[in-house]
Amino acid sequence: MDTNRTENAAAETWRARPAKQQPQWPDPAALQTAVAELRSYPPLVFAGECDLLKDRLAQVARGEAFVLQGGDCAETFEGVTADAIRNKLKTLLQMAAVLTYAGSVPVVKIGRIAGQYGKPRSKDTETRDGITLPAYRGDSVNGFEFTAESRVPDPWRMVRMYHSSSATLNLVRAFTTGGYADLHQVHAWNRDFVASSPSGKRYEMLASEIQRALDFMRACGVDPEETRTVEFFSSHEGLLLEYEAALTRTDSRTGSLYNTSAHFVWIGERTRDLDGAHLEYFSKISNPIGIKLGPSTTPDDALAYLNRLSPQREPGRLTFIIRMGAGVIRDKLPALVEKVTAEGHQVAWICDPMHGNTFEAPSGHKTRRFDDVLDEVKGFFEVHRALGTHPGGIHMELTGDDVTECVGGGHEIAFGDLATRYESACDPRLNRSQALDLAFLVAEMYRSAV
């Protein structure tokens, strides 16, 4: 990996385009010093790992595998603790076990983790009790605390983002390769879970079946290495272009540019302008990338994104992350899938059933209904089933903790419960029980869709 700035000129062409959702850094000199510091740091991921993920996503595009992508809406620096990271990973591993076993499909596991620190916002400001301040834009930009001082963008937060991502990824790598994620631990991941919860009980039964299958294979003399470690990839929205560009390096093997802050980065719904800075930057990196597509996306837009971001039509390069809303997905998605398929493109289609289903509860909390989330995934499966295309995965906002942020689920959370444990710094996440419930329901849908 080369860190030389002049050699990375292609990673800087975005500067000539309008960039939405970027912080107004008040001190340009401080920004330059912080960015220079980031440029001097080693990459967080290796280009070869990004290529491996691209291969996995090509399998998804061909209909041979399913993506589970999940984690916080907004990671926080305070949340970089062993417990929080372990709980998130455990939840994703449990969901993956359910999907792999009950859905009988290989699952590509991608965390919204180790870099999900920058947030696009609907409004630039936030008003409370008559006081208006700049909106919180994620821990990599400003503080969540509602004071004028905390809301000033500070570029050194991007340096802390790097270190927080590095510490998180280090622990994730230790867990996924060091024995914790060994499939033989399938029961252990459930040990601290509410044993009485419906999803906990259901998982316990599935874990016993997996355990029996592993015991059977071992008795037959088969004990594959693949069950001992887990392939796990990191991802975040590539929003803050100063950060993403500073972590963009030339791969010494191929001379290509890679974003080395995560294996997979995506373009958000609010920054997907065809002539904007985000499209320009993403067109220059070789990672597998995603783009969120909301209800205003036309079939021609989808084709234009493909031509711009995946001109070589390399399967696995571009993933469409559909986030339409439960009420509209059945109307809007078919035309996109039809057009892309008719043009001969092979992309991975995955469903984000969270961002089109957010609303304000009577208490003022941002929330989502579990049933709407489920219904959007159902709509996604229905559309793909009707068109004979592959429902390639789900993209979720979730946490491993017992928060009360989304309403509904097997362990019913009501509007009145939201204040009990609402901890998200941005959007409402499924808690562990809701996430597991969803995994079981999606596995059923997958099985009946194939």
Ligand X SMILES: O=C[C@H](O)[C@H](O)COP(=O)(O)O
Ligand Y SMILES: C=C(OP(=O)(O)O)C(=O)O
Cα dihedral angle (43, 22, 11, 41), rounded to 10 degrees? -20
According to the annotation, is 368 in a ligand binding site?
no
CB of 73 to ligand X, least distance (A): 5
Q: Is 443 in the site for ligand Y (CB under 6 A)?
A: no
Single out the residue of 20, 121, 160, 202 in contact with ligand X (rule: CB under 6 A): 121
CB of 112 to ligand Y, least distance (A): 7
> Is the Cβ–Cβ distance between 295 and 265 less than 8 Å?
no
Single out the residue of 11, 19, 65, 73 in contact with ligand Y (rule: CB under 6 A): 73
According to the annotation, is 112 in a ligand binding site?
yes
CB of 426 to Mn ion, least distance (A): 6
According to the annotation, is 323 in a ligand binding site?
yes
With contacts defined by CB under 6 A, how many residues of the chain interact with ligand X?
8
Based on CB atoms, which residue is closest to Mn ion, 251 or 427?
Answer: 427
Based on CB atoms, which residue is closest to ligand X, 6 or 122?
Answer: 122
Residue 265 CB contacts under 8 Å (≥ 6 apart), including other chains: 235, 236, 237, 238, 244, 259, 282, 285, 287, 289, 290
Based on CB atoms, which residue is closest to Mn ion, 73 or 418?
Answer: 73
CB of 422 to Mn ion, least distance (A): 15
**Nearest 5°: phi and psi at 369?**
-90, 130
Segments in 299-369 forming alpha helices (H): 299-309, 329-342
Question: What is the amino acid identity at position 87?
Answer: N
Q: Is 122 in the site for ligand X (CB under 6 A)?
A: yes
End-to-end CA distance of the chain: give it in Å, rounded. 42
Chain residues 87-126 in contact with ligand Y, contact rule CB under 6 A: 120
According to the annotation, is 427 in a ligand binding site?
yes
Stretch that binds ligand X, among 116-124, 166-174, 273-281, 284-292 (CB under 6 A): 116-124
Q: Is 20 in the site for ligand X (CB under 6 A)?
A: no
According to the annotation, is 121 in a ligand binding site?
no
Taking CB under 6 A as the rule, which mask of x and - marks residues 353-392 in contact with ligand X?
--x-------------------------------------
CB of 341 to ligand Y, least distance (A): 23
Residue where the block lists tokens 């719904």: 269
Single out the residue of 88, 109, 263, 292 in contact with ligand Y (rule: CB under 6 A): 292
DSSP states along 375-425: HHHHHHHHHHHHHT----EEEEEB-SS----SBBTTTTB-GGGTTTT---S
Q: Which does 121 bind (CB under 5 to 8 A by kind): ligand Y, Mn ion, ligand X, none?
A: ligand X
Task: Give me the sign of the Cα torsion angle 429, 365, 25, 163.
Answer: negative
Based on CB atoms, which residue is closest to ligand Y, 51 or 352?
Answer: 352
Alpha carbons 448 and 289: distance in angstroms, whole number: 29
Based on CB atoms, which residue is closest to Mn ion, 73 or 291?
Answer: 73
CB of 32 to Mn ion, least distance (A): 30
Q: Is 73 in the site for ligand X (CB under 6 A)?
A: yes
Largest CA distance in the chain: 70
**Nearest 5°: phi and psi at 196?**
-85, -10
Chain residues 244-273 in contact with ligand Y, contact rule CB under 6 A: 268-270
Residue where the block lists tokens 């001097």: 40
Burial class (CB in 10 A: 0-12, 13-18, 19+), 246: buried
Based on CB atoms, which residue is closest to Mn ion, 139 or 251?
Answer: 139
Alpha carbons 106 and 104: distance in angstroms, whole number: 7
Chain residues 355-384 in contact with ligand Y, contact rule CB under 6 A: 355
Coil, helix or strand at residue 217? helix
> Is the Cβ–Cβ distance between 290 and 266 less than 8 Å?
yes
* Sites of contact with ligand Y (CB under 6 A): 73, 120, 237, 268-270, 292, 323, 352, 355, 427
Binding residues for ligand X, rule: CB under 6 A, are: 73, 119-122, 355, 426-427
Q: Which residues does the annotation place in the binding site for Mn(2+)?
A: 73, 355, 397, 427
